[in-house]
Amino acid sequence: MILSSLNKFCHETIIRFTNNKSIVIDATCGNGNDTLYLASQIKNGKIYSFDIQQEAIDKAKVKTSEYNNINYIVDSHSNLDKYVVENIDFIIFNLGYLPHSDSSVSTKYETTIEAIKKSLLLLNSSGCVYITIYTKHDNHQEEHGILDYINTLSKYEYNILKYQFLNLDEAPYSII
Ligand code: SAM
């Protein structure tokens, strides 16, 4: 494929917005794939990784055992301001639920939007919020809530991009 896949585009964006010393957040740790990629890029910075499921964090810890700069937190990302004291360069939300797991333990638009608002307060001026949305999981409720909120953000303060393959029906897409 000539265009980057969603996952490749995400990794390219991480490379663009972070450096070796960045402070970043994985707001939805899940199986730890995004946390692992962030840790592989940010050797001397810090990664905060949130999930409400202890089981997910335990799996991610095994996957990232060679890194010692990851701060795992079993709590909702809507409480991120209780744990993150620094300004951040990058935050990723990979919304929805863990594949092959209880689909009711899913991100919910109220807590997601609260977390996005809090992350914007912590974001460095050249930082990035990266959100991947799975449109189907709750009948578009979370997607529409996020889009409504994003529409309230000033075009003078934020550049907001949507990365979506338009000919893939109901495929996930990213908002950056
Ligand atoms: N980034 C993950 C990876 O690389 O494997 C995939 C994330 S998965 C699609 C979504 C995760 O969000 C689930 O593990 C779920 O437990 C978690 N989650 C749901 N609500 C949350 C909340 N309020 N705060 C933090 N994590 C939450």
- Measured between alpha carbons, how far is 56 from 74 in angstroms, rounded to an integer? 9
Quickly tell me which residue has 């730890």 as its tokens. 32
- Ligand 1 centroid – CA 14 distance (Å): 18
Tens of pLDDT, residue by residue over 27-61, are 999 999 999 999 999 999 999 999 999 999 999 99
28 lines ligand 1 (CB under 6 A): yes
User: How far, in Å, CA of 97 to CA of 134, rounded?
Assistant: 9
* CA 106 to ligand 1: nearest atom: 19
Question: Residue 45 Cα, ligand 1 centroid: separation in angstroms?
Answer: 22
C-alpha 127/C-alpha 45 separation (Å) is 15
Task: Report how far ligand 1's centroid is from the alpha carbon of 2 (Å).
Answer: 29
* Statement: residue 139 has pLDDT above 80: no
Q: How far apart are CA 11 and CA 13, in angstroms?
A: 5
Q: Is the CB of 107 under 6 A from ligand 1?
A: yes
Average pLDDT over residues 63-87: 98
Percent of the chain with pLDDT over 70: 99
Q: Which atom of ligand 1 is nearest to the CA of 34?
A: 4
**51 alpha carbon to ligand 1 midpoint, in Å?**
5
State the pTM of this model.
0.97
b/e sequence 22-53, b meaning 16+ C-beta within 10 Å: bbbbbbbbbbbebbbbbbebbeebbbbbbbbb
As a whole number, mean pLDDT of residues 107-111 equals 94
